[in-house]
Structure 1
C-alpha cells in the first residue's frame, strides 16, 4: 500500500496526554486499546459499536471486549448513555467524559504552568515546573510513554553537563517528532550536529533550520 492508501483509511485523533499518563489513571494496556477503538468508531460517526466490531479490530474476542467495557464502567471511566434522535428513537452511546475529566485533573497537577501574571507561591509547584521536569513531561507526552530512569538521566545530563539551552532541546525534540524518530539517541544526534555548527541559541538554531529545509 502507498501512503495515500493509508490516508484513505483515515486517521484517529487521540490525546497525547492520555497516552503519556494512562498508567497513572490506572488504565491497563487492554483498556487503552479499547478506548482507542471507541474513539476510532466515534470519530467515524458510530458512537455505540458492537463488541464484534471492536473485536474485529483487535486481538480480543467479543467476550473479552465485553469484559473490558465492564471494567471501565466499574472504574467510573466509561458510561453508557441514551440519546433520542430527531424521530424520537432512543439509542445508546459510549461516553468517556468521566475519564477525560480525570485526565484534566491529572494534567492540571502535573503539566500546567503558571499563567502570565500569576505568581507561584508553592515551593513544590516551583520544583515541579523546573526546566528539567518540564522537559521530561514534554518528552513523555510526545513519545506517548513514560521515560526510563536512564532516559531521565540523559536529559538531566544535557542540561547539567552539556549545558544545552532547554529551548534548544525542545527544538531538537520537535525535529525528532517531525522525523517520527521517538528516541533520545536521535535527539542527541541532532544536538551534537548543532553543537558542531556552533549553534548556541534558539534563534541561531531556527535560522539554521530555515536555511536547510
Structure 2
C-alpha cells in the first residue's frame, strides 16, 4: 500500500522563492526553469553533473532538447559548466548555478534599493510631490509598459541614452510608445527608433510628433 511515508523517504527539495519571482526578468522560459529545478534536485541528491538522459527521464523533454536548453542557459550566463579536481587528481565536471543566483541577488538588491528610495521620497517630499529625476521617471515608465522590473543593464542603457547620447527623456518615452504600439517589448527596437530619429535630426518632442504625423 502506498502511503505518505513512502513519499517522505524519497525526500523533499527546497527552492528559493526569489527564483520563481525573478526568473522571467532574466529571460528564462518556463521550460528552462523546469530544467534549472531539475538540476537543483539532482544537486541536492549529490549528483552535480546529471546526464542529458537522466534529466530527460525526469521531464517531458528529449535528451537532445535537454542538450540544447543547457547550452542556451550557458550562453545566457545563467549556469556554468565547471570542473573540479578531487584529492586523487581526477577531474570531474559539474553544473554551477552561481551565475543565476548572482543575477537574482542583483535584482533583489535593486528592488530593495528602489523601495528604500521610494520610502525616503515619501518621507522627505511634500504630499503630492513626485520624484522629478528624469532617469528614474524614464525607468519607471519602461517598467510600467514592460510589466516588470528592469535589469541593471537595462537601467544603464537608459542612463546612456540620457547622459551620453543626450536624448530628451520625453523623446525616449515617445520611442517607447512607438515600440509598445508595434508590440515589440525590447530595448534594441527602442534604440533603433531613437537612432532613426537622430538620423533625421529629430531632437525635440515637437519635431518627433510632427514627423510621426507626416508618416502616419
Q: What is the Cα deviation at residue 123 of structure 1?
A: 3.7
Q: Paired residue for 2:14?
A: 13
Q: What is the Cα deviation at residue 6 of structure 1?
A: 1.1
Q: What is the Cα deviation at residue 98 of structure 1?
A: 0.6
TM-aligned CA distance change 1:73 to 1:5, over 3 Å: same
Q: Secondary structure at the match of 1:59?
A: coil
TM superposition score normalised by structure 1? 0.53
1:146-185 map, 5 Å: none
Q: Secondary structure at the match of 1:33?
A: helix
Q: Paired residue for 1:78?
A: 79
**Structure 1 residue runs without a partner (length 5+):** 115-119, 128-148, 150-213
Q: 4+ runs of 1 displaced by more than 4 Å?
A: 111-114, 124-127
Q: Tell me whether 1:30 sits opposite 2:31 in the alignment.
A: yes
Q: Secondary structure at the match of 2:95?
A: strand
Q: Paired residue for 1:52?
A: 53
- Equivalent pairs counted in the alignment come to 122
TM-aligned CA distance change 1:6 to 1:111, over 3 Å: farther
Q: Paired residue for 2:107?
A: 106
Give the root-mean-square deviation of aligned CA atoms.
2.2
Structure showing greater relative contact order (alpha-carbon pairs closer than 8 Å, 6 or more residues apart): 1
Q: Secondary structure at the match of 1:82?
A: strand
**Structure 2 residue runs without a partner (length 5+):** 123-146, 148-216
TM-aligned CA distance change 1:110 to 1:123, over 3 Å: closer
